[in-house]
Amino acid sequence: MTNLSFRLFSVLLIYTASLFAAPVIADSIEEIIVKANYRETLLEENDGSLLLLEEKQLQDQPMKHFEELTFLVPNLNMAVSDGRPRYFQIRGIGERSGYEGTPNSSVGFIIDDIDFSGQGGVASSFDMEQVEVHRGPQGSRMGANALAGMIYMRSKEPSDSFEGLSELTLGSDGIRNIGLAFGGPFEGNTAIKYRVSLRQDETDGFRKNLYLNRDDTTGKEELTGRLKLNWQLSEITDLSFLLLNSDFDASSDTWNIDGSLNTLSDKPGLDSQDTRAYGLKINHQATNAIVQSLTSATNSDVTVSYDADWGNPDSNSPYTYDFFSETQRSRRSFNQEFRVLSEPLDKTLDDDFAWVIGAYYLKLNERNDIRDLGTYIDPFSPWPPYFKDVSATRDYASENKAIFGSFDYSLSPSMRLSFGLRWEDWEADYSDTFGESFSPSDQMFGGKVSLINQWDQSTNIYASIGRGFKSGGFNLGTGLSIESFNDTLVYEPEYLWNYEIGVNHQFSESNTGIDMVIFYSDRKDQQVMASTQVDPGDPNTFTFLTQNAASGKNYGLEMTVKSNPSDQLSMYASVGLLRTKVTEHGSNITLEGRDQAHAPRTSYAAGMKWFVTDDIYLSMGINGKSSFYYSDSHNNKSSAYTLGNIVLGYQRDQWKYEFWVRNIFDEYFSLRGFYFGNVPPDFPATLFERQGDPRHMGLIVRYEF
């Protein structure tokens, strides 16, 4: 089925179902709270592009990981090579691969107020209360890790009475998932409430290794455990504590020569992350102000290893071509933030000014132990055999210090002016066993000013100007001489000016809300990551080089419609239109005028949930993207795709039973692409693509208590 016919078929299904839905008027629109800002605010009062996924939408997703949620968010893309994606792109801006040098992120990733930027692989969405994707720079809210935007996930808070949820999933390709969450007040002490969440996910993967005759070399085993405690110490002071452990193990055997779903490697690797984290938040109500302290720490051990030649002695014969690479990464972080918040705006009390001021500190330590092994023998060449056995240790440490402020002023009962500023100082030290050392530092400044007008009781309009920033860094393992130090090994900060006009409107008669944003972004000193292969015969020398090589423009439109026209029917539709351009590229002028990498011009999602009877319901959805360039170093593109999903469910009392299918038409699509040589003896540059998941189906049994 072609993309066009599939799209029309899916839309027809959704539209037909809505026609037959019972015409019962639904309740009034429920208030939705944005929780990622310094202050919790109503969704309609937000002054930026935001797509918010509520608890019901998250529960309706059969697979419980943020990777699956990315398909629902227009102008959000992901870069996944083997296991789970750790890097994301918003409006075409963001990292696409593991870094060589400085671990800076363009897209901030926060789970329960703990910064996991660059570590998004552990983002289980089970027992989540809300997911927010803030598109556009968050220069005043998050600083250097949020040049393109911020992803914020909030798990469920402890409840006032005992409650819980259990879930069991069985599916194709060995999918086996089980989850349990429960909590409430401690018996005899209602001032302390708790919630425990446990989730185990397993799958064999959808690829088969023909050489090893195994179908589990891309399998995953993922465990997430979370404990939340809320303690009301007094009438004016409360404490929230979080303990998190995520152990995600994935086998790494994704890539092959022919682009099929069959692999030939003899040494499959790993793509794993074991993370332990804690968070402590204290709120104290002082005189006319709230004092907050947010403390967190993370401890992550990451293993990335792979069969670099993607083959075996038989497939590479008559050449001996055998390479393997492994990186053991240990990452430790400590974060402390203090905030003082005034009383919020209150028109009824003539309180027309509100403010937030604070200070921020982040310390990051990272150690990378790498080992690259390789042998290449060409029996027809006069050159001697090539052997490689390289081990090294890389140590990195950095400190971020920031001060920030946010100010709101009521110009009139219907108009508000908001102004945010952030100054940040970044200092880093790096050394390794190769003798390379760097001590870069940057001082950066960003912020945002916006004007919000409540046009009438159901319409809000805003306009904003924001400046985001991202710290500079350095490149490693490039084989470049020290003479190139100033213009190649070290790169400077990148800045982004963002302009937005947005409107949201609520149609109370049909219980429908619409949000629309038009944006324009101007990138200055754009950090461009290009790939290079220093030695054509050694795939382990395939590396990434970041430079301030370009400036760019990003502009487009984002629109979301959510509707609950009856108690039996809910619908949503989102679309993102994006145009990006490399306006100046110092190292490759052939890319000037071209779209930026991982920036599809069109992305969309639509769906519905229809209760056919009080007990039986049907959910259908589509999502898709147009084609996009894989990299800034070559002109190869993905193919456009549209995916369809369906859930047929039955609920009775506290039980739910669901049959689900994802990618129902078994669309063959790609998420990632590399262009380099990996076929002896000539090693011609070739495009290699990483396919997305084919059709999966299964059953879910869910019990709420």
pLDDT average, residue stretch 13-23: 41
Q: Name the β-bridge partners of 572.
A: 562, 607
Torsion on CA atoms 647, 648, 651, 655, rounded to nearest 10: -60
Q: What is the pLDDT of residues 192-213, one digit of tens each?
A: 999 999 999 999 999 999 999 9
Q: Burial of 180 by CB count in 10 Å (0-12 exposed, 13-18 middle, 19+ buried)?
A: middle
8-state DSSP, 71? G
Token pair belonging to 321: 């071509």
> In terms of pLDDT, which residue wins out, 375 or 541?
375
pLDDT score at 542: 57
- Establish whether the linkage from the previous residue to 493 is cis, with ω within 30° of 0: no
Per-residue burial over 443-462, b = 16 or more CB atoms within 10 Å of its CB, e = otherwise: ebebbbbbbbebeeeeebeb
624/665 Cα distance (integer angstroms): 13
Binning pLDDT at 50, 70 and 90, where does residue 110 land?
very high
pLDDT tens readout for residues 396-448: 999 999 999 999 999 998 999 999 999 999 999 999 998 888 899 999 999 99
DSSP category for residue 157? P
- The closest alpha carbon to 175, from 665, 699, 705, belongs to 699
20 — pLDDT class (breaks 50, 70, 90): very low
> For 272-278, what is the mean pLDDT?
96
CA 115 to CA 597: how far, in whole Å?
Answer: 26
Cα 108 from Cα 400, distance rounded (Å): 15
Mean pLDDT of 220-229: 97
Name the percent of the chain lying above pLDDT 70: 90
Under DSSP, is residue 678 helix (H, G, I), strand (E, B) or coil?
coil
pLDDT(671) > 90? yes
Whole-angstrom Cα distance, residue 115 to residue 127?
Answer: 19
Q: How far is CA 569 from the centre of its chain?
A: 29
Where do runs of H (alpha helix) occur along 112-174? Answer: none
What average pLDDT does the chain have? 89
547-561 per-position pLDDT tens digit = 777 778 999 999 999
Amino acid at 518: I
Q: How confident is the model at residue 534 (pLDDT cuts 50, 70, 90)?
A: low
Q: Where are the alpha helices (DSSP H) in 107-169?
A: none
Write down the pLDDT at residue 428. Answer: 93
* CA dihedral of 486, 489, 492, 494, whole degrees rounded to 10: 140
pLDDT for the residue 584: 73
Domain ranges of the chain: 3-704
Calpha distance 256→98 (Å, rounded): 20
Structure tokens at 701: 């049994």
Tell me the two tokens of residue 108: 């901030």
Give the residue-averaged pLDDT of 342-352: 78
Task: Determine the Cα–Cα distance for residues 64 and 125; give it in Å rounded to an integer.
Answer: 5
Quick check: 531 pLDDT over 90? no
Asked if 86 and 123 touch (Cβ cutoff 8 Å), the reply is no
Residue spans of beta strands (DSSP E) within 433-511: 437-438, 441-456, 459-470, 473-474, 490-491, 494-507
What's the CA angle centered on 89, arms 88 and 91, to 5 degrees?
Answer: 155
φ/ψ region of 70 (left if φ > 0, alpha if ψ in -120 to 50, else beta) reads alpha
The answer to whether 365 and 335 are in contact (CB under 8 A) is no
- Cα separation of 56 and 61, whole Å? 9
What residues have CB less than 8 Å from 176, skipping those under 6 apart? 169, 170, 201, 202, 203
pLDDT in tens, 85-102: 888 999 999 988 776 667
Q: Is the Cα torsion angle 162, 243, 132, 35 positive or negative in sign?
A: positive
| All residues at 6 or more sequence positions from 488 whose CB lies less than 8 Å from its CB, including other chains | 475, 478, 480, 545, 547
Q: Write the pLDDT tens digit of every residue in 577-618.
A: 999 988 776 666 767 778 999 999 999 999 999 999 999 999
* DSSP bridge pairs for 449: 419, 465
Return phi, psi of residue 183, to 5°. Answer: 165, 180
Please tell me the class of the 3-704 domain: mainly beta
Distance CA 481, CA 121 (A): 35
Where is pLDDT greater, at 149 or 526? 149
Q: Is 563 exposed, middle or buried (0-12, 13-18, 19+ CB in 10 A)?
A: buried
> Which pLDDT belongs to residue 509?
80
